[in-house]
């Protein structure tokens, strides 16, 4: 439905919000509906509000709507005319509820697909009918009304929305709520999608009346409701990316659905999204609000679709230059996705060469192939070659709460380090935040983007800014190394057939904690991956990885990571020393290679090389990286470090993490089959071919 058409009809829609609408909501004549059911339709109502009267503006809600719209059209076959978007002042309470009834309620039929999305502020309000409790509510564009000196809030209760969703005559309903309800105490200027609750405010009488009408109806549907947070006190956050802002949850969700077919359990999808959010510096934990367990994303049927990193959005007159939408690339990768990266069209043999990129959109040119089929808008594109610049910096945002002289000193101190850059917080994308400790303002420290203090990254009370920054040198090197290995993530696009299972060893049989697998190389993407929503591993647990090489080539493996105090670690495969009693014998490392069809457990199961989880309680991150060629350069750098022979465990400290990762990127570049000269950019870029590398991420909590 066009927005113009909706506005023309709004008067009549609002007129039936009383008994007539209540009668319609009863859905009594379902037998007739079943008989008259046409082929399934796909309907969507997308809401995004950045601008609120007398309230600090949000930044990413309109991008969220665009992310969802492009996903639904190109990935799931929605017609643009069946997607209604309400943004900014259009998204009043009256318009949202009326649009729901008219666009979704009156058009949806059994087996139709319905998607509802809301990005904007949430809050809490007390009802006169139950004054002892506060209720969650969505904040529309016309949130506040002042009537006869009373403060009336024109909110949409979460309960109202859930009842509306349940009223739809189809079981294939999905709602996405990228909002939160508890406004946190401001921390380091972080932006949250929650407004403070107002104890004295009253809810608009029209909303209460509408809620009571809904409560009297039979509600046939059990929708899937995905929320941005699992803990009521968590904040739904948005972040500044490469040229745009977006809700972290919406970006993670849509990126996941671009690359993966949603046939696994929702809990697994949420775990993958949480993993993605963690790499962006967020502790957000998405949640499923529905009561049914083991649900699948069945409201978004795959219809034989395949994973992709984006789609053709427009074609220029020459027929060779195309505009791409690249929301399927991992968020941390997009910022550095370089010119001359290549994509294949999912249904043909043509290749597209990236020429420029702005935010989520890019221009590409079709490679010269004789007899190439004409390009079409909507064609899906898959990653073939990833080009990354060699000179990538760790970006530190300077908190706006710092005094001017403090920012000057910090900028000067960080500039002394190679590959470290500073920006003003909130103005450009960043990796970490340098700020004062709130409890001790005379101390400075390094924080994640979610405001969490990085361990071992603080100065002493009263210590000068420059001295604190100088002490951060080892930590900054480690964090830059982690940023670089995260840029290799390609679980969705790799063409190597690999499956990795993280297991806890006990006396009976190994217990599966997480499982990751590449998906694009398999004939089907419907195999179920196992994972816990928030994998938790007790201190003292014995762990192992089980790696299955289902490809037709041997693969080599490197494991890098951050342990629970933000220090770098690696998996070591030690050569057996010929003279074990010689204390000065330098241990040597050997390649970990897995033959085609072979399954290997790491570390090898014996008492000498056990991997035991140590404290303290925190989060661990591992990146398991594969190549079709040996990691010669990486092992050479690893062997230069002065490791203690007393610490020859299977997973141990990585002393020269940045050197190791730079060597690893060069090894992956060397392994790539793509050797064509790229307009002089080869010298300052790494080119990674999806046929020759895979990189999968594991994050789990240590408790």
Residue ranges of domains in the chain: 3-288, 310-385, 394-479, 487-702
- Rounded to 10 degrees, the C-alpha dihedral 542/548/554/556 comes to -30
334 to 290, 387, 488, 699: CA distances (angstroms): 32, 11, 11, 21
Q: How far is CA 572 from its chain centroid? A: 30
CATH 3.40.710.10 fits 310-385, yes or no: no
Start-end of H helices in 368-423: 404-415
Q: Which residues contact 401 (CB under 8 A, 6 or more apart)?
A: 188, 189, 435, 436
Q: How far apart are CA 668 and CA 678, in angstroms?
A: 17
- The pLDDT score that the predictor gives to residue 666 is 96
Long-range contacts of 372-377, Cβ-Cβ distance < 8 Å, separation of 24 or more? 372/348, 373/348, 374/319, 375/312, 375/315, 375/319, 375/322, 375/345, 375/350, 376/312, 376/315, 377/312, 377/313, 377/314, 377/315
Pick the CATH number of 394-479 from 1.10.3470, 3.30.70, 2.50.20, 3.40.50: 3.40.50
Could you tell me if 117 and 44 are in contact, meaning their C-beta atoms sit under 8 angstroms apart?
A: yes
Q: How far apart are CA 60 and CA 245, in angstroms?
A: 4
Q: How far is CA 444 from its chain centroid? A: 29
- The pLDDT score that the predictor gives to residue 580 is 54
Regions of the chain short of the pLDDT cut 50: 1-39, 293-294, 298-299, 301-303, 523-532, 646, 676-680
- The pLDDT score that the predictor gives to residue 8 is 44
Q: How far apart are CA 603 and CA 505, in angstroms?
A: 12
Q: How far apart are CA 698 and CA 500, in angstroms?
A: 10
Neighbours of 632 (CB within 10 A): 14
Q: How far apart are CA 485 and CA 697, in angstroms?
A: 10
- The pLDDT score that the predictor gives to residue 524 is 44
pTM, full prediction: 0.88
Q: How far apart are CA 636 and CA 117, in angstroms?
A: 51
- The pLDDT score that the predictor gives to residue 134 is 85
Q: What is the sign of the dihedral through the CA atoms of 104, 107, 109 and 115?
A: negative
Could you tell me if 243 and 359 are in contact, meaning their C-beta atoms sit under 8 angstroms apart?
A: yes
Could you tell me if 307 and 492 are in contact, meaning their C-beta atoms sit under 8 angstroms apart?
A: yes
Long-range contacts of 443-449, Cβ-Cβ distance < 8 Å, separation of 24 or more? 443/468, 444/410, 444/468, 444/469, 446/396, 446/472, 446/475, 447/188, 448/281, 448/282, 449/190, 449/239, 449/280, 449/281, 449/282, 449/397
Answer whether 3-288 and 394-479 agree in fold. yes
- The pLDDT score that the predictor gives to residue 186 is 67
Phi, psi (rounded to 5 degrees) for 413: -70, -45
Q: How far apart are CA 182 and CA 195, in angstroms?
A: 7
Q: How far apart are CA 314 and CA 581, in angstroms?
A: 68
Intra-chain end-to-end CA distance of the chain, in Å: 51
Domain 3-288: give its CATH architecture. 3-Layer(aba) Sandwich (3.40)
Give bridge partners of residue 87 from the DSSP assignment.
48
Neighbours of 200 (CB within 10 A): 7
């Amino acid at each position: 439905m066009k927005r113009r058409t909706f506005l023309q009809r709004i008067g009549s829609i609002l007129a039936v919000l009383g008994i007539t609408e209540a009668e319609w909501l009863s859905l009594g004549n379902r037998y007739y509906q079943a008989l008259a059911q046409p082929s399934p339709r796909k309907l969507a109502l997308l809401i995004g509000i950045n601008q609120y009267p007398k309230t600090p503006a949000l930044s990413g809600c309109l991008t969220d709507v665009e992310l969802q719209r492009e996903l639904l059209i190109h990935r799931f076959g929605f017609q643009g005319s069946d997607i209604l978007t309400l943004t900014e002042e259009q998204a009043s309470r009256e318009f949202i509820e009326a649009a729901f009834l008219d666009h979704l309620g009156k058009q949806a039929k059994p087996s139709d697909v319905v998607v509802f999305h809301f990005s904007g502020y949430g809050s809490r309000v007390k009802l006169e009918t139950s004054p002892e409790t506060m209720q969650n509510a969505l904040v529309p564009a016309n949130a506040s009304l002042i009537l006869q000196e009373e403060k009336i809030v024109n909110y949409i209760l979460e309960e109202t929305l859930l009842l509306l969703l349940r009223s739809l005559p189809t079981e294939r309903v999905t709602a996405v709520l990228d909002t939160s309800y508890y406004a946190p105490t401001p921390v380091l200027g972080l932006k949250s999608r929650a407004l403070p609750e107002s104890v004295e405010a009253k809810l608009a009488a029209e909303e209460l009346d509408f809620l009571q009408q809904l409560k009297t109806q039979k509600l046939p549907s059990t929708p899937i409701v995905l929320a941005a947070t699992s803990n009521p006190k968590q904040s739904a956050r948005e972040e500044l990316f490469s040229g745009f802002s977006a809700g972290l949850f919406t970006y993670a969700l849509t990126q996941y659905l671009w690359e993966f077919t949603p046939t696994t359990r929702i809990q697994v999808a949420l775990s993958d999204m949480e993993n993605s959010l963690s790499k962006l510096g967020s502790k957000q934990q998405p949640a499923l609000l529905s009561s049914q367990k083991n649900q699948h994303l069945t409201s978004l049927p795959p219809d034989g679709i395949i994973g992709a990193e984006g789609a053709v959005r427009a074609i220029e007159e020459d027929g060779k230059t195309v505009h791409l939408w690249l929301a399927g690339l991992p968020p941390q990768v997009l910022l550095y996705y370089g010119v001359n990266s290549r994509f294949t069209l999912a249904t043909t043999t043509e290749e597209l060469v990236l020429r420029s990129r702005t935010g989520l959109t890019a221009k590409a040119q079709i490679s010269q192939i004789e007899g190439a089929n004409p390009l079409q808008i909507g064609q899906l594109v898959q990653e073939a070659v990833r080009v990354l610049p060699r000179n990538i910096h760790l970006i530190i945002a300077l908190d706006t709460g710092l005094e001017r002289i403090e920012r000057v000193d910090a900028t000067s101190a960080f500039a002394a380090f190679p590959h470290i850059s500073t920006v003003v917080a909130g103005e450009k994308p960043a990796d970490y935040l340098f700020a004062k400790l709130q409890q001790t303002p005379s101390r400075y420290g390094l924080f994640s983007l979610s405001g969490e203090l990085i361990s071992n990254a603080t100065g002493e009370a009263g210590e000068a800014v420059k001295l604190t920054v100088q002490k951060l040198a080892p930590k900054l090197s480690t964090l830059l190394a982690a940023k670089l290995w995260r840029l290799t993530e390609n679980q969705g696009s790799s063409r190597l057939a690999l499956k990795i299972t993280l297991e806890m060893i006990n006396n009976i049989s190994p217990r599966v904690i997480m499982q990751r697998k590449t998906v694009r190389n398999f004939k089907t993407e419907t195999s179920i991956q196992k994972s816990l929503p928030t994998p938790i591993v007790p201190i003292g647990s014995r762990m192992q990885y089980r790696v299955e090489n289902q490809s037709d080539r041997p693969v080599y493996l490197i494991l890098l990571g951050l342990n629970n105090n933000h220090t770098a670690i690696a998996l070591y495969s030690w050569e057996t020393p010929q003279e074990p009693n010689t204390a000065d014998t330098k241990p040597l490392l050997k390649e970990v290679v897995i033959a085609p069809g072979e399954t290997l457990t790491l570390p090898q199961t014996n008492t000498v090389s056990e991997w035991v989880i140590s404290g303290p309680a925190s989060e661990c991150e591992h990146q398991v990286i594969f190549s079709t060629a040996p990691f010669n350069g990486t092992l050479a750098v690893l062997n230069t470090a002065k490791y203690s022979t007393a610490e020859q465990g299977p997973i141990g400290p990585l002393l020269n993490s940045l050197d190791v990762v730079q060597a690893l990127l060069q090894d992956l570049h060397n392994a790539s089959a793509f050797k064509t000269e790229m307009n002089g950019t080869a010298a300052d870029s790494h080119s990674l071919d999806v046929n020759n590398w895979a990189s999968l991420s594991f994050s789990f909590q240590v408790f």
